[in-house]
């Protein structure tokens, strides 16, 4: 047989050989490093016998994600073996490799750090014992019997749910056998460095209706240093966490008696949000053809009954006076702006010539999230988004949808975060149709249209089932927080269904009433969430135009406070956010504080500067920027703010 390797070279073998044997034949080193193989694009075990011509790629921990996964998957089996030894009553559920590590779920009492340390010790023993991992397959009945005898009910359930023709495979290592599709390393000793990170609860099969199991998270590496680096990184990212840094920098806070998910934006945080809001509103209205609306924050339940929210999402709304006490109406705080803007549209009759109509609103929304869901500024019960609805003719839909994506891209670019997002086509779940309105045909058409647009725009995207809004599919633009968790930052939604519910129409050339299509979209998403994102992205060192304090004037001593105030006044006159540090402190102390506050610029003024009408400029981008006339500095910083420049730190 002829084996074609990754580099295009070929090797010929007389008889069938395992992946491991071929890897070892290529080089002893590769044989030792190999964690799995890839035959004609399919990931396989090292034990897999290759018996015909194929393309073969030897996977290692370092050269591929699948290679890492095999390594960590074996680590998770070592974990399971150790747990079963220490806690014989524990039942095994599942234990896959994940990005940056692995986990294993057990039905057992919860664990604290001490328990994890004990388990780690036992794992080290298992590794040292150097068990071979042996692969074997069983027919369905025997597989079920084996797991029943082992008293592993979760494994039995997993086998029973496998398709009839599935190969049911196991890996045995010493006294531990686990149902597993593999691939796996050859022996436990191959795992060189690992750490159990944490434990928590996790529902069996991801459903809250099922029992909560105990999940143990861990990670493993081939080099001790890599593990140490990873642990240091995990420790370090806490310093970027917006929920910590944002509070430290006095951008926001929360108060017990005000409630969960209700952050208070402090003056600095509020200023940043104001800066973004003014930018977005002007951008939309002046350059992207939007009109502005301002609609109520609450409405009678009747409105939500028409929109479908009452049926689909009442649980997520803050409803007031639901039982109609004292003859008062039932009201609800709005969880979205859609129907309000529809009534703006319906206020007058529209010709086909009027469309598209693009309505923008800086919209405050209320969502009654479950108590465990709240997080800093990213998951809150009241937030404000750059919301908008476009009412368009069907023939305009594609162009307008593209326009919304272009605006979103422009916003991302301006904030300097374009590289950090992923695009998703969020589709409905055909298995769960009662969650949605519309027919399968309508959904196919809407999803197909979005797919075509994204493909045409050459945007990389994934397709996510069950992520659509109840009225239509959408493009979600997501970003990861420092912990790797994804949040939707921007959304553009296709809706050809709702207009009917609200009896929206326009008059076409023939004088007939026609249903418009609707695009629900945000240009830059939710201001609170975006602020959180920027805090983490920039570690609090924001682009100058977004900074709540752009310059601080530092008089050398109290004698120069008057001149400092003059300088500040000149900057303020030009729209620069400036303060004066007029405390009776040494200049070194004031500079230290200015740096600690992550200010973009601080200017020192003393006798020399006052005499000549200068300022001594320093910045976090370039350090000392020299002494220059006030007017020159004003010009410089105003230009940077006006152009929304994202100035880079210069190498020293």
Partner RNA sequence: GCUUCGAUAGCUCAGGUGGUAGAGCACUUCACUCGUAAUGAAGGGGUCGAGGGUUCGAGUCCCUUUCGAAGCUCCA
Ranges within 544-563 binding RNA (CB under 7 A)? 556-559
Contact 455, 428 (CB under 8 A): no
Q: Per-residue contact track with RNA, 509 to 548, x per CB under 7 A? A: ----------------------------------------
Q: Taking the complex as a whole, how short is the minimal distance between the CB of residue 635 and RNA, in angstroms? A: 20
Q: How many CB atoms lie within 10 A of CB 543?
A: 18
Q: In the complex with RNA, which residue's Cβ is closer, 136 or 233?
A: 233
Among 1, 54, 587, 622, which residue interacts with RNA (rule: CB under 7 A)?
A: 587
Stretch that binds RNA, among 117-125, 158-166, 330-338, 411-419 (CB under 7 A): 330-338
DSSP string covering 183-200, please? ---SBGGG--EEEEEEEE
**Kind and range of the H or E run holding 533:** helix 527-538
Span 28-87, contacts to RNA by CB under 7 A: none
**Alpha carbon separation from 147 to 24, 156, 161 (Å, rounded):** 35, 6, 14
**Residue 260 binds RNA (CB under 7 A):** yes
Q: Percent helix, strand, coil in the chain (nearest 5)? A: 40, 30, 30
Quickly tell me which residue has 């921990």 as its tokens: 61
Stretch that binds RNA, among 176-184, 290-298, 567-575, 601-609 (CB under 7 A): 601-609
Among 27, 130, 413, 624, which residue interacts with RNA (rule: CB under 7 A)?
A: 624
Q: Taking the complex as a whole, how short is the minimal distance between the CB of residue 185 and RNA, in angstroms? A: 25
**Residue 584 binds RNA (CB under 7 A):** yes
Total residues binding RNA (CB under 7 A): 73
Q: Of 490, 488, 336, 338, which Cα lies nearest the Cα of 410?
A: 490
Among 71, 401, 443, 470, which residue interacts with RNA (rule: CB under 7 A)?
A: 470
Contact 199, 214 (CB under 8 A): yes
Contact 263, 381 (CB under 8 A): no
**Residue 317 binds RNA (CB under 7 A):** yes
Among 201, 440, 613, 629, which residue interacts with RNA (rule: CB under 7 A)?
A: 201
Among 141, 142, 160, 248, which residue interacts with RNA (rule: CB under 7 A)?
A: 248
With a CB cutoff of 8 Å and minimum separation 6, the contacts of 367 are: 316, 317, 335, 381
Q: Of 419, 308, 401, 317, which Cα lies nearest the Cα of 358?
A: 401
Q: In the complex with RNA, which residue's Cβ is closer, 6 or 305?
A: 305
Q: In the complex with RNA, which residue's Cβ is closer, 39 or 374?
A: 374
Among 222, 396, 618, 619, which residue interacts with RNA (rule: CB under 7 A)?
A: 618
Rounded CA-CA distance 447/473 in Å is: 6
Q: Taking the complex as a whole, how short is the minimal distance between the CB of residue 498 and RNA, in angstroms? A: 10
Q: In the complex with RNA, which residue's Cβ is closer, 170 or 517?
A: 517
The number of CA neighbours under 13 Å toward the Cβ of 165 is 0
**Residue 327 binds RNA (CB under 7 A):** no
**Residue 233 binds RNA (CB under 7 A):** no
Among 368, 501, 566, 582, which residue interacts with RNA (rule: CB under 7 A)?
A: 368
Q: Could you tell me how far CA 588 lies from the centroid of its own chain?
A: 40
Q: Taking the complex as a whole, how short is the minimal distance between the CB of residue 202 and RNA, in angstroms? A: 4
Among 412, 609, 630, 641, which residue interacts with RNA (rule: CB under 7 A)?
A: 609
Stretch that binds RNA, among 4-12, 18-26, 154-162, 592-600 (CB under 7 A): 592-600
Stretch that binds RNA, among 3-11, 205-213, 383-391, 535-543 (CB under 7 A): 205-213
The number of CA neighbours under 13 Å toward the Cβ of 156 is 13
Q: Taking the complex as a whole, how short is the minimal distance between the CB of residue 520 and RNA, in angstroms? A: 7
Among 122, 285, 463, 467, which residue interacts with RNA (rule: CB under 7 A)?
A: 467
DSSP string covering 6-59, please? TTS-EEE-SS-EEHHHHHHHH-HHHHHHEEEEEETTEEE-TTPEE-S-EEEEEE
Q: Taking the complex as a whole, how short is the minimal distance between the CB of residue 102 and RNA, in angstroms? A: 13
Span 334-353, contacts to RNA by CB under 7 A: 335-336, 338
SS3 of 113-169: HHHHHHHHHHHHHHHHCCCEEEEEEECHHHHHHHHHHCCCHHHHHHHHCCCCCCCEE
**Residue 373 binds RNA (CB under 7 A):** yes
Among 11, 483, 500, 613, which residue interacts with RNA (rule: CB under 7 A)?
A: 483
**Alpha carbon separation from 86 to 129, 218, 238, 543 (Å, rounded):** 16, 18, 33, 53
Among 139, 206, 327, 511, which residue interacts with RNA (rule: CB under 7 A)?
A: 206
**Residue 261 binds RNA (CB under 7 A):** yes
Q: Taking the complex as a whole, how short is the minimal distance between the CB of residue 34 and RNA, in angstroms? A: 30
Contact 48, 37 (CB under 8 A): yes
In eight-state DSSP terms, residue 1 is -
What own/partner pairs with CB < 8 Å and gap ≥ 24 does 590-595 have? 590/552, 590/554, 591/554, 591/618, 594/552, 594/554, 595/620
Q: Per-residue contact track with RNA, 159 to 198, x per CB under 7 A? A: ---------------------------------------x
Q: Taking the complex as a whole, how short is the minimal distance between the CB of residue 345 and RNA, in angstroms? A: 18
**Residue 370 binds RNA (CB under 7 A):** yes
**Residue 596 binds RNA (CB under 7 A):** yes
In eight-state DSSP terms, residue 469 is B
């Amino acid at each position: 047989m002829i084996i074609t390797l990754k580099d295009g070279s070929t090797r010929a073998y007389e008889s069938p050989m395992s992946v491991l044997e071929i890897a070892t034949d290529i080089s002893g080193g590769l044989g030792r490093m190999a964690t799995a193989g890839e035959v004609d694009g399919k990931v396989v075990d090292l034990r897999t016998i290759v018996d015909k011509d194929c393309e073969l790629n030897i996977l290692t921990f370092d050269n591929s994600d699948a290679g890492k996964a095999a390594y960590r998957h074996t680590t998770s089996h070592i974990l399971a073996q150790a747990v079963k030894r220490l806690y014989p009553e524990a039942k095994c559920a599942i234990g896959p490799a994940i990005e940056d590590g692995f986990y294993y779920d057990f039905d057992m009492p919860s664990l604290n750090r001490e328990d994890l340390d004990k388990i780690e010790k036992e794992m080290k023993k298992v590794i040292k014992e150097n068990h071979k991992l042996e692969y074997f397959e069983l027919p369905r009945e025997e597989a079920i019997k084996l797991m029943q005898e082992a008293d592993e009910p979760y494994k039995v359930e997993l086998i029973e749910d496998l398709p009839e023709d599935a190969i049911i495979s196991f890996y045995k290592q010493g006294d531990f056998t686990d149902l597993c599709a593999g691939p796996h390393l050859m022996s436990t000793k191959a795992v060189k460095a690992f750490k159990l990170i944490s434990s928590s609860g996790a529902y069996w099969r991801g459903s809250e209706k099922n029992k909560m199991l105990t999940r143990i998270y861990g990670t493993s590496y081939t080099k001790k240093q890599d593990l140490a680096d990873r642990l240091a990184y995990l420790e370090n990212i806490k310093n970027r966490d917006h929920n910590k840094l944002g509070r430290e920098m006095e951008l926001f806070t929360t108060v017990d008696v005000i409630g969960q998910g209700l952050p208070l934006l402090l003056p600095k945080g509020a200023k940043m949000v104001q800066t973004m809001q003014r930018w977005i509103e002007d951008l939309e209205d002046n350059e992207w053809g939007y009109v502005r609306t301002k609609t109520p924050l609450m409405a009678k339940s009747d409105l939500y009954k028409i929109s479908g929210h009452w049926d689909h999402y009442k649980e997520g709304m803050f409803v007031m006076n639901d039982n109609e006490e004292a003859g008062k109406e039932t009201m609800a705080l709005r969880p979205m702006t859609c129907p309000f803007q529809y009534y703006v549209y319906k206020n007058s009759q529209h010709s086909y010539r009027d469309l598209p109509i693009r309505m923008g609103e800086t919209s405050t929304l209320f969502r009654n999230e479950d108590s465990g869901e709240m997080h800093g500024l990213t998951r809150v019960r009241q937030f404000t988004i750059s919301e908008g609805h476009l009412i368009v003719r069907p023939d305009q839909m594609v162009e307008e949808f593209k326009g919304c994506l272009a605006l979103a891209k422009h916003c991302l670019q301006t904030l300097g975060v374009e590289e950090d997002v992923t695009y998703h086509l969020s589709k409905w779940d055909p298995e769960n149709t009662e969650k949605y309105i519309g027919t399968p045909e309508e959904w196919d058409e809407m999803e197909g249209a979005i797919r075509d647009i994204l493909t045409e725009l050459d945007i990389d995207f994934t397709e996510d089932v069950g992520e659509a809004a109840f009225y239509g599919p959408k493009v979600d633009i997501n970003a990861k927080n420092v912990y790797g968790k994804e949040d939707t930052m921007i959304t553009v939604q296709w809706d050809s269904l709702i207009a009917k519910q609200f009896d929206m129409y326009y008059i076409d050339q023939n004088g007939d009433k026609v249903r418009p299509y609707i695009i629900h979209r945000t240009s830059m998403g939710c201001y609170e969430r975006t602020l959180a994102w920027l805090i983490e992205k920039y570690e609090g060192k924001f682009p100058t135009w977004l900074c709540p304090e752009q310059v601080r004037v530092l008089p050398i001593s109290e004698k120069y406070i008057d001149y400092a105030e003059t300088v500040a006044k000149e900057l303020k006159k030009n729209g620069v956010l400036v303060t004066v540090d007029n405390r009776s402190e040494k200049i070194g102390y004031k500079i230290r504080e200015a740096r600690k506050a992550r200010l973009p610029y601080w200017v020192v003024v003393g006798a020399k500067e006052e005499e000549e009408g200068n300022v001594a400029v320093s910045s976090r981008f370039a350090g000392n920027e020299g002494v220059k006339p006030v007017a020159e500095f004003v010009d410089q910083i105003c230009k940077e703010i006006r152009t929304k420049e994202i100035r880079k730190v210069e190498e020293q």
